[in-house]
Structure 1
């Protein structure tokens, strides 16, 4: 969900990981939104009801890109899992073939705005226009009556969330892996994601180059761990 405000999002955000050794450090990440924040956005989707067998809802933000998204699709296929891909519209426009690969794998595409905008730093008309532009691309690939939307960074106001929920289901999360942080050791990223996950969790990963090292370490091990516990993986 990290990113910038312009159409050059992929080039800026998805830079190649630096060749350096990651060292464990104190975990200062906010992996789960406080209950007070969730209560300010009652119409947003934060988690799903528990099911039998237990189900997890894996989501992937910031793609699609050819370097990372096919890896995610491949890993999900190994476990018969389906996921939800919150797409940046600019990446959709550049890589429609990758988006079609996601759909062919039985997954769902969703809106992450066209330019990865923060709802805190853009006007409502500008933000809504950016959402609509991404929506137009998504409807060409996957027509839906009430599509899904995740605001980048999770940054929207209650008033903006209310407006967006008139046309979309706004989706937040139960577990944020923080895989995009290159200083977050992969082993700690995995351990934290496993510890916080519970039945019905909506879990955020990122199919971006910035998240590549952690994504490629964590995702297959995360899937293996919960599949062994009898969990299934579904899209929203």
Structure 2
């Protein structure tokens, strides 16, 4: 947390304008995102919590977790949320060759699409097109991606989704209250907010998420998928 701000600086957004940092809107809308799942118990808890507020979100899934927990992945889709790619093994882009990085993304996409298609007949008609509902969003683990990696992924049809606000739910030295404060003090209409449906982040996320939903719902906000 010492080197990464809660709120993404404007200069970072201007340096990488081809990445999505927030959503331009004049409406009271927030875009909650969850990284690193699907995770037993934690992801389903997040889904139940979101459902109680009629909130939609985007889940950036690790390919190997999709393969290990296909039923939880199915629950994300059935609840009307969007799926994003978070690489196959949660690797760091800055220390990975571009060819290896692209393969990680492709492997994760294969896992996502294969698992999606295996359940496709059980979905509502609005979830029948994997290309429109799954393929495009990608978030680099740790936010680490080189310019060349980013250029190649965009050429391959991915939307690189970064963030406007970090909750820091994964940081063990960040309190539950601070995690909540990070989100409510920095989020604005159109903010993309990062949570994690992971074991490491579960204590802070499970405390902050319902409070964030309650706080912004009380102010007339709606929560949308990217």
Residue 212 of structure 1: how far off its partner (Å): 0.8
Aligned residue among 30, 34, 52 for 2:9: 34
Residue 66 of structure 1: how far off its partner (Å): 1.2
Aligned residue among 218, 221, 225 for 2:208: 218
Would you say the 8 A contact 2:60–2:139 is kept in 1? yes
Query: In structure 2, what is the equivalent of residue 147 of structure 1?
Result: 136
User: What is the distance in 1 between the residues matched to 2:209 and 2:162?
Assistant: 20
Query: In structure 2, what is the equivalent of residue 161 of structure 1?
Result: 150
User: What is the distance in 1 between the residues matched to 2:151 and 2:13?
Assistant: 13
More helix by share: 2
Residue 41 of structure 1: how far off its partner (Å): 1.5
User: What is the distance in 2 between the residues matched to 1:198 and 1:129?
Assistant: 35
- My pick for the range that moved more, 158-167 or 130-139, is 158-167
Number of paired residues? 209
Q: Normalized against structure 1, the TM-score is what?
A: 0.85
User: What is the distance in 2 between the residues matched to 1:107 and 1:51?
Assistant: 22
Instruction: Say whether 1:172 aligns with 2:162.
Output: yes
CA deviation vs aligned residue, 1:173-203 (integer Å, no higher than 9, x gap)? 0001010012101111111210000000000
Matches within 5 A, 1:22-61: 28=2, 29-52=4-27, 54-61=28-35
User: What is the distance in 2 between the residues matched to 1:225 and 1:34?
Assistant: 24
User: What is the distance in 2 between the residues matched to 1:113 and 1:58?
Assistant: 19
- My pick for the range that moved more, 188-197 or 141-150, is 141-150
Instruction: Say whether 1:132 aligns with 2:106.
Output: yes
User: What is the distance in 1 between the residues matched to 2:190 and 2:9?
Assistant: 17
Query: In structure 2, what is the equivalent of residue 86 of structure 1?
Result: 60
Would you say the 8 A contact 2:20–2:162 is kept in 1? yes
Residue 35 of structure 1: how far off its partner (Å): 2.4
Query: In structure 2, what is the equivalent of residue 10 of structure 1?
Result: none
User: What is the distance in 1 between the residues matched to 2:159 and 2:131?
Assistant: 11
Residue 67 of structure 1: how far off its partner (Å): 2.3
Would you say the 8 A contact 1:175–1:204 is kept in 2? yes
Residue 32 of structure 1: how far off its partner (Å): 2.4
Gaps of 5+ in 1: 1-26
Would you say the 8 A contact 1:67–1:209 is kept in 2? no
Instruction: Say whether 1:206 aligns with 2:181.
Output: no
Gaps of 5+ in 2: 118-129
Q: After the TM superposition, which parts of structure 1 deviate over 6 Å for at least 4 consecutive aligned residues?
A: none
Q: Normalized against structure 2, the TM-score is what?
A: 0.89
Aligned residue among 99, 109, 116 for 2:90: 116
User: What is the distance in 1 between the residues matched to 2:192 and 2:62?
Assistant: 19
